[in-house]
A and B are shown apart, each in its own frame.
Chain A
């Protein structure tokens, strides 16, 4: 056990956990942030995607020893900035408006991959968006509406 300190959605946290515990388990079990989902547990599905120092990663493949001193953003943090205005993140709004979520299991990961794509300057081009979310599987939507929602935000069509 070691004390591991890092930032989650802007707040400092300290956990006393084995260095090999998965970031996914710390988020869900130790910190109660159950927005991040576990699908496959082996890097294939992207349901567990979070941002680590701004980069999208599969939290099921990240050991806690590599999170010490770093910045983690989860789906719970997505709306944080918008919350003062009583709204959601523009990406969340777009997913709602354009029907980009059905059962919702892929949605938190999809949102985080899309957030990383947009933050890196990604535009509304559908092929580029598909590459940006290629590590996220969705069994329901057929992806088209997800791509359209991300494109709408990239193009500034969602307030």
Chain B
């Protein structure tokens, strides 16, 4: 039988904050990552748990102050069904649709994907590409951290041990387009070999791109932005020359590793090709 560590079940956020202030607790939202750890096969079993499932404060999808605000407990199924998300963050909806299958999408949460901080977390490149802010809180107060600065190292986050992720804010930006691509072994239930989100603003199909973001997962120890590829695209129009330059820049700047899911060479080649194709599709050639 798996371990059954004690679990606290607060019904208010303030109660959760006090519990966290009293000593280390491992939060559980949908459990799709953490429940696997209670078998003890993947390392140490958490000693005490904190159930977030009764905290209404972490729920809900709304438009607030020019951003799309998503509660940390938003599940992938909720994301896929939300008209607000489909309208303002279609790339995030696409990412949600590739995660696990129905069983995982009904339980897995956006906050869990972020806190788990896997380099292969599929929503993370989308959050980076869309300049999302992660709102976190604890007994000392609440603060916002840009997604691009949330993952300091392999499986590390900007969260203090006594803090929770509360919500994710994605600023709305006029004329912004975001594209998402994931390459895995099969369509469902596959961890990414390469996952990418690209975002830009353009005023008309022949206009130059601005605010370009190229974000990737599964190619480094953390989700990353690709600065050289972004520079190759910034201010440029989506021409064949631009696509070649951006793909080459991306291939040059990535240094992915070989692991059980893929090789570094394959990842670099596929990433460059995905970016090339996104630019080509945008240019319509």
Contacts and interface: CB of A to CB of B under 8 A. Distances in A.
A70 to B, nearest CB: 10
Contact of B106 (A20, A57, A131): A57
B62 interface: no
A66 B51 contact: yes
B39 A43 contact: no
A135 B36 contact: no
A44 B35 CA distance: 12
A61 B107 CA distance: 9
Contacts of B32: 43, 61
A18 B2 CA distance: 12
B160 to A, nearest CB: 24
Residue from A41, A43, A117 having most chain B Cβ neighbours under 10 A: A43
B5 A134 contact: no
Interface string B1-42: 111111101000000000000000000101110011011000
Given A18-B6, A66-B51, A57 B107 contact: yes
Interface in A99-153: 113, 116-117, 131-136
B53 interface: yes
Interface residues on A, range: 20 to 34
B35 A116 contact: no
A56 B35 contact: no
Contacts of A131: 101-102, 188
Contact of A134 (B2, B7, B106, B188): B188
Nearest to A135: B101
Residue from A25, A62, A133 having most chain B Cβ neighbours under 10 A: A62
Given A43-B104, A56-B102, A19 B1 contact: no
A142 B189 CA distance: 17
Given A65-B51, A66-B31, A135 B7 contact: no
A19 B187 contact: no
Majority secondary structure, B binding face: loop
Contacts of B104: 43, 58, 135
B143 to A, nearest CB: 28
A134 B102 contact: yes
Q: Which 7 A-B pairs have the closest CB atoms?
A: A135-B101, A134-B188, A134-B101, A18-B4, A19-B7, A61-B35, A135-B103
Given A57-B106, A134-B189, A22 B101 contact: no
A62 B53 CA distance: 11
Contacts of B101: 46, 131, 133-136
A58 B1 contact: no
B189 A65 contact: no
Interface in A31-83: 41-44, 46, 49, 52, 55-58, 60-63, 65-66
Nearest to A58: B103
B100 interface: yes
Contact of A63 (B31, B100, B102, B189): B31
